[in-house]
Structure 1
């Protein structure tokens, strides 16, 4: 099987400026991980943006990346919204068939050895029967945020419910509905914390520490080696990636790996990238005073689009730093590598590598950005690789001519 990004990764910018669509987390797993498991893949190759190839080959030397697809290889779009219907439809495909939605390819069998993604017309000319489908492909980050709660439930039932569970009732820990709680190895639950799975499952992955008086309400996922701070309030629909530090109030949000929101403040209906730091007292809005649908900036269209929902917070690219007491408006998109502070309301769209107050933005010098990124990664025992620097330089140049 090949899981492919279909050249529409800009629908998910800024999060996919430096990662494959398949590496977006939604629910407990990343999109590609879930497809591999649900489709029973024995051997998976990944087709990604060529600009990401060097970085991915360095990070994942054992992966097969952008290798040709042999005749008869099952090709599956990384944007596929997983459901029993979508998985069954793909499993029912015959070797001379494919599923399409308009011009979008959902899944198909390669008609011959191919090295790049064909168009629907090219597949049809090669003898592939194209079956129109009502299956859903994700179109933006807002859709992932709003599907997160459903996928936490699905992932728990599919992949965690029957796995070895290190759950033990600790003195002073309050547990509601323990049968819907999965605890990984070496998890520390401190006195006074509350795990409330009465409305959905809670998964706390291995090596995580939950400090006193923190409350976690399911459905929720806490990634490996994360730290949930004293008095934190983690509400339903929240997925926190590995090695994160989270405090304050978080609701219906997705946080990728290595990001920190350690202090008081509200984060709601948001998608946060990696290596993000949100300063003390910072909060975002996820509901307009008018209760109308939230619009947000789309990199793909270059204008604001309707999210179709009343609830949408912020979408924050990797390596963003927000100073203390920053306020982020409803539907705000903050680009890759920004460093922002002051009491000015951060709203609408902040371009990649912006620096300063929301009302007085300048461009972040690339050398200064790299210096900070190196220091941040060094604290986790990691280095900023030459491949990362080359990719980040390309992103910076797109914004600076």
Structure 2
């Protein structure tokens, strides 16, 4: 049974994905070539779509999706899907085969039909609980997404080297300059529309480069990376996700990291993603130390944050929204939102200055900062430790 209405909702664990979910619902997070909500939506193209999320995010989300009802009281049959799930064909078949079932994975509700679903059924599902889960599953999602995006429509200059060309997709009006190596031997490469890859860059799959992005000359983009849209990226990037409108134009290493929107990493910014003792990394989220079980965790950075030149980030560093980090030595591993940080001192970043800079940055990309967006930043500021 196919639903006429689906509701994609946040569950109570959204705070585990701070600072990324300060400015967006969980289902707007990127994994592979699309958000978690887009991944669900493609299975139900004809259904009416409803979102459910925290109230203070609703005004900004409505501006992005004016045709989608948000936090609406739904009457009649509806399929509810947890927005933190990497939805797949198996879950689609299970939930559409029985309209009286609630799918559960390790005590997490994955999907259900209305509140009257009486039968619980255990299922295998990938539930995103922490930011590093997105990084872990990114290569798999890029590989899965490739079948829906396979094409070769861009311009390839003479001297471009394609390895496993059948696993490379290049969108309309994209330009691949001489000396570029696209190596899809270990996974597909998806390059969106209006992308420029400058000379002598190397891109290894699985990799996704979003629309209107620029890969700088000599860049090394290694497997497991998703970038964009509208990003400028240079230097060395490995197993990382960058949301739209963020820049890392210069040399420096970004590894096993998740970068929000409107961020900028200054020249020679480097992230450590491996401890010297090769031990598993612990990360502090919401004042709790979380044992990740992973040897590789780099930087988790919220929207509008920036690093100065030669900044060094320790393994498993978390930076909130609209913070500025600069100076010699390692900054703290946990940096709150609206912080002004050098290696020796952490001060409060003035809200009016933060909004002024963010408005300028957005205007350079022809994006207008609305009053609703200002109010969202004010909400985050007021909720952050002073």
**TM-score over 0.5 (shorter chain):** yes
Q: Alignment partner for residue 202 of structure 1, among 175, 189, 204?
A: 189
Q: Alignment partner for residue 149 of structure 2, among 150, 154, 160?
A: 160
Instruction: Quote how far apart the aligned CAs of 1:395 are.
Output: 0.7
Q: 1:19-53: CA deviations, max 9, x gaps?
A: 01111110111111011113455321111111111
Does residue 97 (structure 1) correspond to residue 101 (structure 2)? The answer is: yes
Deviates more, 1:248-257 or 1:385-394: 385-394
The whole-number CA distance in structure 2 between the counterparts of 1:339 and 1:358 is 11
Does residue 141 (structure 1) correspond to residue 128 (structure 2)? The answer is: no
The whole-number CA distance in structure 1 between the counterparts of 2:46 and 2:339 is 41
Instruction: Quote how far apart the aligned CAs of 1:72 are.
Output: 1.9
Instruction: Quote how far apart the aligned CAs of 1:108 are.
Output: 0.4
Q: Alignment partner for residue 192 of structure 1, among 179, 193, 207?
A: 179
Any idea what SS the aligned residue of 2:138 has?
helix
Superposed counterparts of 1:5-44, under 5 Å: 5-44=10-49
The whole-number CA distance in structure 2 between the counterparts of 1:234 and 1:191 is 17
The whole-number CA distance in structure 1 between the counterparts of 2:117 and 2:365 is 52
Does residue 243 (structure 1) correspond to residue 248 (structure 2)? The answer is: no
- Partner in structure 2 of residue 369 of structure 1: 354
Q: Alignment partner for residue 304 of structure 2, among 291, 299, 319?
A: 319
Deviates more, 1:48-57 or 1:221-230: 48-57
In the alignment, structure 1 segments of 5+ residues that lack a partner are 112-125
Instruction: Quote how far apart the aligned CAs of 1:167 are.
Output: 4.8
Any idea what SS the aligned residue of 1:46 has?
strand
Instruction: Quote how far apart the aligned CAs of 1:169 are.
Output: 4.5
The whole-number CA distance in structure 1 between the counterparts of 2:344 and 2:235 is 27
Superposition RMSD in Å: 1.5
The whole-number CA distance in structure 2 between the counterparts of 1:225 and 1:81 is 26
Cα contact 2:155–2:173 (8 A) shared by 1: no
Instruction: Quote how far apart the aligned CAs of 1:257 are.
Output: 0.2
In the alignment, structure 2 segments of 5+ residues that lack a partner are 1-5
- Partner in structure 2 of residue 63 of structure 1: 68
Cα contact 1:70–1:110 (8 A) shared by 2: no
Cα contact 1:176–1:198 (8 A) shared by 2: yes
- Partner in structure 1 of residue 326 of structure 2: 341
Any idea what SS the aligned residue of 2:21 has?
coil
Superposed counterparts of 1:189-268, under 5 Å: 189-268=176-255
The whole-number CA distance in structure 2 between the counterparts of 1:183 and 1:177 is 13
- Partner in structure 1 of residue 3 of structure 2: none
In 2 relative to 1, CA 127–173 (structure 1 residues): closer, same or farther, beyond 3 Å?
A: closer
The whole-number CA distance in structure 2 between the counterparts of 1:258 and 1:48 is 23
Q: Alignment partner for residue 110 of structure 1, among 109, 114, 137?
A: 114
- Partner in structure 2 of residue 122 of structure 1: none
Instruction: Quote how far apart the aligned CAs of 1:127 are.
Output: 5.7
The whole-number CA distance in structure 1 between the counterparts of 2:295 and 2:132 is 11
Any idea what SS the aligned residue of 1:44 has?
strand
TM-score if structure 1 supplies the norm length?
0.92
- Partner in structure 2 of residue 281 of structure 1: 268
Cα contact 2:102–2:117 (8 A) shared by 1: no
Q: 1:277-306: CA deviations, max 9, x gaps?
A: 00001100111111111111122xx21111
Instruction: Quote how far apart the aligned CAs of 1:168 are.
Output: 5.5
The whole-number CA distance in structure 1 between the counterparts of 2:34 and 2:341 is 35
The whole-number CA distance in structure 2 between the counterparts of 1:192 and 1:151 is 28
Cα contact 1:39–1:87 (8 A) shared by 2: no
Instruction: Quote how far apart the aligned CAs of 1:386 are.
Output: 0.5
Any idea what SS the aligned residue of 1:216 has?
strand
- Partner in structure 2 of residue 272 of structure 1: 259
In 2 relative to 1, CA 235–69 (structure 1 residues): closer, same or farther, beyond 3 Å?
A: same
The whole-number CA distance in structure 2 between the counterparts of 1:50 and 1:311 is 34
Instruction: Quote how far apart the aligned CAs of 1:134 are.
Output: 4.2
The whole-number CA distance in structure 2 between the counterparts of 1:166 and 1:132 is 43
- Partner in structure 2 of residue 393 of structure 1: 378
